[in-house]
Chain A
Amino acid sequence: MSRARAWREALPVGAVAGALLLVAVVVLVSAGADLRTALSALWIGSLGSRYALLSATLVRATPLILLGLSVTLAFRAGVLNIGAEGQFIAGASAGGAVALATAAVLPGPVSLLVALTTGVVAGGVWAAVAAELRRRFGVLEVISTLMLNFIALYGVSYLVHGPLQEPTHVYPQSATLPMVARLPFVFDGQRLHVGFILAVLLGLALWYVFARTAAGFRIRITGAGAAAAASAGAVDTARVSFLAFIASGAIAGGAGAVEVTGVTYTLFERISPGYGYSAIAVALLARLHPVAVIGAGVFFGALEAGAAAMQRDAGVPSQFASILEALAILGVLAVDRLRARRQEAAP
């Protein structure tokens, strides 16, 4: 690449980086925030204290990691499942319902286990709708899962106004889970629940599956070269991607059940603020590597926790959380791509 050409290509990139930075500063300053206060709030609110880490950042990171792993599994198998959001809601609804129904009759741990399992199954079933539409009718899963997200959203709304509404039938939410049906905390006095540990373990397990096992290998070749996997490997790729699709939904459904039993204890309409969409960014920024997904999930959890602290302590508008997240994604993308190109260009 000649020098003139390098400049021509670097120019728009520099311009974009500059523009992104400008947007960030303009928003901050025009909101009347003091830059230094804002940045210190960002740090203190995310990683700057034991409390921030254990009660804010990692709590928020948990659904992002689990859903990031769900997306990773699907994408690795060549399935563009962008329905983690809907599968999360399905799992939260079913898991919550079962936890409420069984908490009184079953011992706590059993009830909890049944609830989590139900969440997993429900997420799998929700994904199976799209998987079956893809297998039988060739419906693009990008579209069908998007539709199913909307349907899940209105479905949970129906549930909390109808069959799952709390006993007084006043509030659009379910009854609250009794103590026994809640996930235990990891540390006393901190909100971090064992769901986070499950998420980390799942990340390691998925990495192990991909790297070491035959099933994981079949998933990877199905995603990376379906025709070769079918021809040279005699692998039933349609079946592998179908099953991976459902497993991916099952993870997302489990994440929903974890959120209800570990954080909210109640089923609400707005149970997810779009975790399923953020998770796509989490997974792709981690380059679909399960262990890296854990890191990316924590990074996004920290961003959100820090942005909340900026709102509280520095008067930064709430929208700054999504701006910050978006800028972080774009920034990482830009750096990553520029490095890749420099490597390509190197002699």
Chain B
Amino acid sequence: AGSERGVAFRVALLTPGPITDQSWNSAAYAGLMRIKDSLGAQVSHIQTKTPAEFDENFRQYGASGYSLVFGHGFEFQEAAARVSPEYPNTIYVTTGGISMGKNLASMSFSFDEPSFLAGMIAASVSKSDIVGCLGGTELPPVKASFLAFRAGVHAVKPRATVITAFIGNWDDAAAGKEQALAQIGRGVDVIFQNADAAGLGVFQAARDSKSVYVVGSNSNQNEVAPRVTLGSVVIDLPHAFITVAREVKAKTFQARVIQFNTRSAVVRWVPNPATASLLSARAISMVDSVRATMLAGHFSLPAGR
């Protein structure tokens, strides 16, 4: 396939999972659609099943003259680093990670800031002083976010217990629910979930139990189960994607590690109004003051226990 430069602005997305997960992958797909709608780009999406396919697809998009290719996850970094030098006219961006090259960039999300806030809120709401984290598999952004959450919990209640569990996959919702119920059985009354599709089972578990609350992640999941959701640690992926795509289209893009944090409003804590009454005034003011330091750029995670 020859490259037909300048014919159209073409953008591609590689996701590691199904775009129906209402979380990590569906948000990226929404970003791709936003690029299509706002910038009039021609878009293409492919779901990869195995690392063996990363290289192949990066190459195919490069060879067909795409301007911008997103690899949606830190795991795409190495393949992107291998392929990008061969297709200098295509810009490769991985979501997560720290790689950069001439036409290679990565988006890095300061997930820890809103996760810390979520931890503070979870600690305030918890009556048992036991809160849980529940992930799909042990991926770096998930782990980092759980650590920040734990720090947030301990900032409010230094003696609270935080337990962490992983389901082992991202799509077995029944297992997600069962893992949540196991935590609830242990006394957990707030669960921070980051398990994509399988995480839907966590909401289901909270709905079935009395006074157990969930913190969502990646997308704004407040509408999934409004009565039991305290809020969501949101990455506004569509916003991040279109920011990058605009620069690429305008040919002003500089290869770099693009930091998105609370200040850039891409990564943020979105409280759920439906459960706002659970928070005491004291808790709200405490959270607001920490958020202020984040917005000012002065926040750093306290050293963990």
Binding site for B on A (CB under 8 A): 45, 49, 51, 55-56, 59-60, 154, 157, 161, 170-173, 176, 191, 259, 263-266, 268-273, 305, 308-309, 311-313, 315, 318
Contacts and interface: CB of A to CB of B under 8 A. Distances in A.
Contact of B57 (A268, A271, A308, A315): A308
Contacts of B44: 311-313, 315
A318 B46 contact: yes
B137 A271 contact: no
Given A55-B56, A161-B138, A268 B75 contact: yes
Q: Enumerate the 9 nearest inter-chain pairs by beta-carbon distance, A residue then B residue, closest first.
A: A318-B47, A273-B49, A273-B50, A170-B140, A311-B46, A264-B51, A268-B51, A263-B52, A312-B44
A266 B140 contact: no
A308 B78 contact: no
A270 B60 CA distance: 22
B45 interface: yes
Nearest to B97: A171
Given A157-B168, A270-B49, A51 B140 contact: no
A305 B57 CA distance: 10
B59 interface: yes
B137 A269 contact: yes
B63 interface: yes
Contacts of B64: 313
Given A59-B56, A263-B55, A264-B50, 7 more contacts: A191-B55, A191-B56, A264-B51, A308-B46, A309-B60, A312-B60, A318-B18
Contacts of A272: 50
A104 B187 CA distance: 50
B236 to A, nearest CB: 24
Nearest to A171: B140
B247 interface: no
Interface residues on B, range: 20 to 34
A186 B28 CA distance: 36
Contacts of A161: 138
Contacts of B55: 191, 263
A313 B42 CA distance: 11
18 contacts: A49-B1, A51-B1, A56-B60, A60-B52, A157-B168, A171-B140, A172-B137, A263-B52, A265-B78, A266-B51, A270-B49, A273-B50, A311-B46, A312-B12, A312-B60, A313-B64, A315-B45, A318-B47
B140 A311 contact: no
B288 interface: no
Given A259-B52, A308-B46, A309-B60, A171 B138 contact: no
B37 interface: no
Nearest to B63: A51
Interface of B: 1, 12, 18, 44-47, 49-53, 55-57, 59-61, 63-64, 74-75, 78, 137-140, 168
Nearest to B140: A170
A77 to B, nearest CB: 29
Contact of B56 (A154, A170, A265, A308): A308
Contacts of B59: 55, 191
A55 B60 CA distance: 10
Nearest to A318: B47
B111 to A, nearest CB: 13
Contacts of B51: 264, 266, 268, 270-271
Nearest to B78: A176
Contacts of B56: 55-56, 59, 191, 305, 308
A55 B138 CA distance: 32
B46 A271 contact: no
A171 B12 CA distance: 24
Contact of A172 (B50, B57, B63, B139): B139
Nearest to B47: A318
Nearest to A263: B52
A55 to B, nearest CB: 7
Contacts of B168: 154, 157
B78 A266 contact: yes
B57 to A, nearest CB: 7
A172 B166 CA distance: 14
A2 B46 CA distance: 51
A91 B18 CA distance: 28
A173 B46 contact: no
A313 B74 CA distance: 25
A339 B169 CA distance: 43
Contacts of B140: 170-172
Given A56-B56, A170-B140, A271 B50 contact: yes
Nearest to B142: A172
Contacts of A59: 52, 56
Nearest to A52: B60
B75 A173 contact: yes
A310 to B, nearest CB: 10
A161 B166 CA distance: 13
B265 to A, nearest CB: 26
B78 A270 contact: no
B230 to A, nearest CB: 28
Nearest to A265: B78
B75 A312 contact: no
A161 B139 CA distance: 9
A272 B50 CA distance: 6
B45 A311 contact: yes
A265 B75 CA distance: 13
A308 B12 CA distance: 13
Contact of B52 (A171, A264, A309, A311): A264
